[in-house]
Structure 1
Amino acid sequence: MPTRYYNIDDILTDAQKIPAVFQIPVPGMGYLEHGRSESTDIKQGARLELPLWMAEPLAVSGESDNLPNGFVTVSPPAPFNSRVINALKANAINVDLRSQTMYFFRLGQRWVELTGDETLLDQILQAFTERAAIVNDYAYNTRSTALMTDNTEFMGKLDETEVKLFRAAHDASRQFKKWVSIKK
């Protein structure tokens, strides 16, 4: 999915840090590595965390015989480490995705587009499907006192995609109940 220039969710997703290793030396860009204003070089093999918007073109640019992986090779970002993925496999509903990143599913989509990691795609899709059913249940049953006690804790674990899904389902439920009451 191409990013939309003025979409704040896309902008914030693109700002997520991606671990990258430089495959070539880069003259005059040492301030990215050191955080200083001095102009030094990035050495080959330097490990940096780059924002997705910068890491993506560097990872796919320069693909040739000498640089089959681009100018940088990227590793999965922290939200997709084995600990988080294993927790999602075990019980996706109880994983606090917001503590990983507010844009877990958007970042997952962009990461899969960049790397083509079908295994991660399957795991993220499975987790989203399981969580969406619970989000929908909460959205349609907000008057239940049992759910309302857990509602704040539950909502605090959702990423932005799930929050938008909750709001849409809750609004649809309210509108449906209003429509049904008019029909009577």
Structure 2
Amino acid sequence: MAVQRRSVSLDLSLISMFSVLLFISSLFTKYTSGYGAIFYAIFLLTGALVIGRPLSATIISVIAGLIYSLQSQLFLLMLGTFFIRGLVLDLIFIPTRAYERARSENPGRSLMAISMISMVLSGFMAGIYQYFFLVLFLGKLVDFGAFIVSTIFLVSIISNIIAAYIVVKYLLPKLRSHGWL
């Protein structure tokens, strides 16, 4: 059976929708001191897998980051956090064929493992950028100390694992049954 491709206009609409959802969830994360990060992870992963084209995660993240930069005191410095998050996802998803696996009828545990590893690494790398570049190097954000930073990283790891589990186990099958994948 031939794979049917969606129209470019539908993909652009999906990119717009998921970018806005990512922006809104990043505001929610900011104002809840990071407790809303799971929503950010869910929207990023779902958007990337639903669009399913190479660089989907990067495009969604960069657009959300540009919108976020317009309201941030750090302006375009925050774009790096978004860009790194999407780029790391794509750098893992493309060679592991995660986008193709998401479209298959039974993606199995491999997509779950790839998604969990990708989300954790992308969150970790974005956090490294933010901490070392924005906090330590530029001094633009407050350094809360090793304990709090370690706790933030631990919460990020747990949130990203849970988000990947929710998306692959529950959201993708529902989206597939409705013809979105």
TM-score, normalised to structure 1, is 0.26
Q: Where is the strand percentage greater, Structure 1 or Structure 2?
A: 1
Q: Where is the helix percentage greater, Structure 1 or Structure 2?
A: 2
Please say which structure displays the higher CA radius of gyration: 1
